[in-house]
Structure 1
Amino acid sequence: MHIAIIGAGISGLMTALELAEQGCSVDIFDQHQAGQAASWAGGGILSPMYPWRYASEVNQLAQYGKSLYQMWNEKLLPITGIDFQIHDTGMLIFDQEDFATGLNYAIQFNEPMQQCDLLNHKQLEQVNPHISTQFQQAIYFPQLSNVRNPRLLQSLIGYLKQHPSVRFFEHCPVEKLIIQNKKIQGIQLEDSRNLFADHVVITSGAWSQHWAEQVRRKIPVHPVQGQMLLFKTPENWLPTMCMNRVMYLIPRQDGHIVCGSSMADCGFNTAVDEQTQQDILTACLEMVPELEQFPIVQRWAGLRPSSPHGIPYIGAMPEIENLWANFGHFRNGLCMGASSARLLRQLMLGQKTLVSPIAYSPERLKKQDLISS
């Protein structure tokens, strides 16, 4: 089976990995360099932020993220020499209005990894001595982890590029889908080359709306910009992830601390701006004032693929045979990425699925008005 995948972010790369390991021949296309868009720009928390604020469909896929990445890391590390660095830090959340919901969430929804405890100030100091004294309480999720997403992407790309069944086409925009009699035949590249495939998978993230006219469906996915900044502290300086008012600190093993994140509807603009960066900095210093003594080494922005309720489209596209979707993950592309790809592989190959696919089905797009031809 020969499969073309359009988009080489986490969704495209994980989909390619799942299919190639099942014996499929896979071509991966990206308009830029593989693994350089939103997937690189994200934070890598292996849980939705405040999971109780998200649809159950999001949490259902996210709960498999850590175990699947651990499995893939064990397989890929000896070959690529790149460790995903899945970092078991736990997380502190300071939003008092979320304490009651957070404390009940694990039991109510049977999600053991979301188990948390309410810490008083003394306990908080023991867990993370760098927290501002203004926070007298927090809820603590000891089992939450983060993955170092740039290293995850590097390992995936390194493994797939040496895989005998995989070809990469980077800096190679796909101009259009080749569709005949409601069946996908392949793709046409910007340079007018036609490449034929048995199946085509759209994993275009924030750019997925590009295909709406050709599939004659509204695709309600659009870019939402998020900005971040990076501190460098001593190794293992900050012991936990921290969250307050949707702003977060994510410590890496080598002392880098990822700080974010903003939300802005500004099209495909990935420029950082001074005011947003200052807002992020202020929020992070409010949680951990000592960060002020360390250097900021990088600032950047990425584009999240916003979708209704953040529920991705995974499965067969309606009314076009052999065209598949895996896009629209909004803020949770990394924590849902591994399970989304597994679910799509299982659907494409007619295998038993790890979750019911109905809620993610692109058949939902039928509810959108047909785009007039």
Structure 2
Amino acid sequence: MHIAIIGAGVSGLLTALELAEQGCKITLFDQQQAGHAASWAGGGILSAMYPWRYPQEVNDLAQYAKQFYQQWNAKLQPVTGIDFQIHETGMLIFDEDDFDIGLAYKEKYQDPIQHCEYLKRTQLEHVNPHISQQFQHAIYFPHLANIRNPRLLKSLITYLKQHPNVEVHENIWIEKFNIQNQHIQSIQTSNGQHFVADQFVIATGAWSNCWSEQLQLSIPVEPVQGQMMLFKTPENWLPTMCMNKVMYLIPRMDGHVVCGSSMQNIGFDQRPSVQTQQNIYKACVEMVPELANFPIVKQWAGLRPSSPTGIPYIGKMPELDNLWANFGHYRNGLCMGPASAQLLRQLILNQDTLVNPNAYSTERLKQAG
């Protein structure tokens, strides 16, 4: 089976990987360089942030993130020489209003990844001695991990480009689907080239709404800008991830600390704003005052594919017999990515599915249309 995938962010890359490893022939397209949009810009926490604030359907996919990435890293690293750096740092959450909810969530779902405990100040200092004195307690998730997402993307792209079943086309804009009798015959690029395949997948993230008019659907996915900041500290200096008021600190193994993130509805504008960066900086040093002693080495912004509930669209698109969806992951594309791709592979190849696919159905697009 020949499958064309439009979009080479984490969703498109993982979908290509799942299908190529099953023997499918893959042609992968991206409008820019592969892996350079929201997937590269994100933080890489392998859990929904405050999972109790999200529909359970989001957590049903996110729960597989660490396990599936560990499996892929073991398979890809010998070929690519790139380690994703899955870093089990644990996380401290300082939002007092979430303490009881988080502890109750742990009891209800019994997901080992979401195991948490309440810490008083002395315990907190033992877990992370750099936390500001203003925080006298926290809830601690010892098993939460993060992934070095630029390395993940580099490894996926390197692996797929050498894969005998895969062809990658970068800097190509797919302009339209050529449809006859509810069947896509080919896709057409902006310079008039046609590509044929048996099945087609839309994995275009924040740009997915651009298909609405041609497919006569309402696709309620739009870009939400998130800004980030990167500090450089000594290696293994910050022992845990930290979270307060939706702002987070994510330590990497080499001492980089990723800080974010903002949310702004400003279309496809990816320029960082000074005011937002100042807000992020203030939130970071509020949690860990000593960060003020270290240099900021990078600042950037990315575009999240916002969808109404954060539940992605995964499955066959309405009214067409060979077009599939894997988009709309909003803030959780990296942690839902591996299970989303596996679910779509299972649907396309008519295999048993790891979760009930109905919750992710594209029939929701039809209703919105």
Q: Same fold (TM over 0.5)?
A: yes
Mapped contact 1:106–1:113 kept (Cα < 8 A):
no
Find the counterpart in structure 1 of residue 134 from structure 2. Answer: 134
**Which one-letter code corresponds to 1:41 in the other structure?**
A
1:268 counterpart = 2:268: yes
**Which one-letter code corresponds to 2:330 in the other structure?**
F
How many Å apart are 1:366 and its aligned residue?
1.4
Separation (CA, whole Å) in 2 of partners of 1:186 and 1:141: 48
Superimposed CA distance per residue, residues 229-277 of structure 1 (whole angstroms, 9 cap, x where no aligned partner)? 0000000000000000000000000000000000000000000011000
Find the counterpart in structure 2 of residue 230 from structure 1. Answer: 230
Find the counterpart in structure 2 of residue 171 from structure 1. Answer: 171
Superimposed CA distance per residue, residues 97-139 of structure 1 (whole angstroms, 9 cap, x where no aligned partner)? 0000001112212322101000000000000000001100000
How many Å apart are 1:194 and its aligned residue?
0.7
How many Å apart are 1:148 and its aligned residue?
0.4
Superimposed CA distance per residue, residues 170-221 of structure 1 (whole angstroms, 9 cap, x where no aligned partner)? 0011011111111112210111011101000000000000111111100000
Superimposed CA distance per residue, residues 11-35 of structure 1 (whole angstroms, 9 cap, x where no aligned partner)? 0000000000000000110000000
* TM-score scaled by length of structure 2: 0.99
Separation (CA, whole Å) in 2 of partners of 1:17 and 1:186: 22
Separation (CA, whole Å) in 2 of partners of 1:150 and 1:139: 29
1:16 counterpart = 2:22: no
Q: How does 1:154-169 map to 2 (within 5 A)?
A: 154-169=154-169
Mapped contact 1:89–1:239 kept (Cα < 8 A):
yes
Find the counterpart in structure 2 of residue 248 from structure 1. Answer: 248
Structure 1 stretches of 4+ moved >6 Å? none
Find the counterpart in structure 2 of residue 153 from structure 1. Answer: 153
How many Å apart are 1:365 and its aligned residue?
1.0
**Which one-letter code corresponds to 1:350 in the other structure?**
N
Separation (CA, whole Å) in 1 of partners of 2:236 and 2:129: 13
1:87 counterpart = 2:87: yes
Find the counterpart in structure 1 of residue 350 from structure 2. Answer: 350
Over the matched positions of the two proteins, sequence identity in percent amounts to 68
**Which one-letter code corresponds to 1:293 in the other structure?**
N
Secondary structure of 2:309's aligned partner: helix
Separation (CA, whole Å) in 2 of partners of 1:223 and 1:109: 32
Aligned residues: 369
Separation (CA, whole Å) in 2 of partners of 1:3 and 1:62: 25
Separation (CA, whole Å) in 2 of partners of 1:120 and 1:186: 61
Find the counterpart in structure 2 of residue 198 from structure 1. Answer: 198
Q: How does 1:1-373 map to 2 (within 5 A)?
A: 1-369=1-369
Separation (CA, whole Å) in 2 of partners of 1:350 and 1:213: 29
Separation (CA, whole Å) in 1 of partners of 2:112 and 2:178: 46
Separation (CA, whole Å) in 1 of partners of 2:17 and 2:308: 27
Mapped contact 1:315–1:326 kept (Cα < 8 A):
yes
Separation (CA, whole Å) in 1 of partners of 2:2 and 2:178: 15
Separation (CA, whole Å) in 2 of partners of 1:155 and 1:212: 32
**Which one-letter code corresponds to 2:137 in the other structure?**
Q
Separation (CA, whole Å) in 1 of partners of 2:72 and 2:368: 37
How many Å apart are 1:160 and its aligned residue?
0.2
User: Runs of 5+ in structure 2 lacking a partner?
Assistant: none
User: Runs of 5+ in structure 1 lacking a partner?
Assistant: none
* TM-score scaled by length of structure 1: 0.98
**Which one-letter code corresponds to 1:216 in the other structure?**
Q
Superimposed CA distance per residue, residues 288-311 of structure 1 (whole angstroms, 9 cap, x where no aligned partner)? 000000000000000000001100
Separation (CA, whole Å) in 2 of partners of 1:183 and 1:289: 58
Separation (CA, whole Å) in 1 of partners of 2:273 and 2:199: 41
**Which one-letter code corresponds to 2:15 in the other structure?**
T
